[in-house]
Amino acid sequence: MKKGFSANELTGFLTEFLNSKDVDIEKKVHNLILLNSIRNSWKTVAPPALFEHTVIGKFTKKTLYLQADHGIYAQEIQLLSRQLTKALSKETGIEILAMEVKVGPIYHKNGKSTDIMSQSENMSTIEEHPNKSVLEKLIKNTQKE
């Protein structure tokens, strides 16, 4: 199991956490832990070609939401969704009943996008976030490790 988070992963988790409308902090943290477990397992369950062209977005109501950088990969996920949900459920112990996929830009660990949108454009939501300084400190601390 992965021991640390990249700056992009941490930023995504924190932004998602802070922007969530739920007021139950325990529930938020639990959902983030589930999502992280699914994301880590996706690396071993997904075929390499799919892994490189997809990202896990969120997990709610036993449905996993993914994003693919091209329609071909989105279609492949839809074709393999039954096998992928079974494998992820078995690997994580989390009941995943469905997958929904949309097409759009994805960002890899190195910060490079698979489309024309740059990482800095994606990070602009942090610039406007009320907890910007907290997020920046966490990102800097993650980058040092």
CATH of the domain at 62: 3.30.300.180
- Is 85 contained in some domain? yes
Angle between helices 7-19 and 132-144 in degrees, nearest 10: 160
Question: How far is Cα 123 from Cα 143, in angstroms, rounded to an integer?
Answer: 15
Written in H, E and C, the secondary structure of 49-108 is: HHHHCEEEEEEECCEEEEEECCHHHHHHHHHHHHHHHHHHHHHHCCCCCEEEEEECCCEC
Structural domain of 71: 1-105
In the predicted model, residues of the chain with pLDDT beneath 70 are: 1-7, 17-18, 20-24, 108-145
* Residues paired with residue 68 on neighbouring β-strands, in sequence order: 54, 103
- Is 126 contained in some domain? no
User: What is the per-residue pLDDT for 122?
Assistant: 37
User: What is the per-residue pLDDT for 139?
Assistant: 56
User: What is the per-residue pLDDT for 3?
Assistant: 47
Half-sphere exposure at residue 89, Cβ-oriented, CA atoms within 13 angstroms: 14
User: What is the per-residue pLDDT for 30?
Assistant: 79
User: What is the per-residue pLDDT for 20?
Assistant: 67
Question: How far is Cα 54 from Cα 24, in angstroms, rounded to an integer?
Answer: 29
- Is 118 contained in some domain? no
User: What is the per-residue pLDDT for 32?
Assistant: 81
- Is 120 contained in some domain? no
* Residues paired with residue 55 on neighbouring β-strands, in sequence order: 67
User: What is the per-residue pLDDT for 117?
Assistant: 32
- Is 56 contained in some domain? yes
- Is 140 contained in some domain? no
The number of distinct structural domains making up the chain is 1
- Is 113 contained in some domain? no
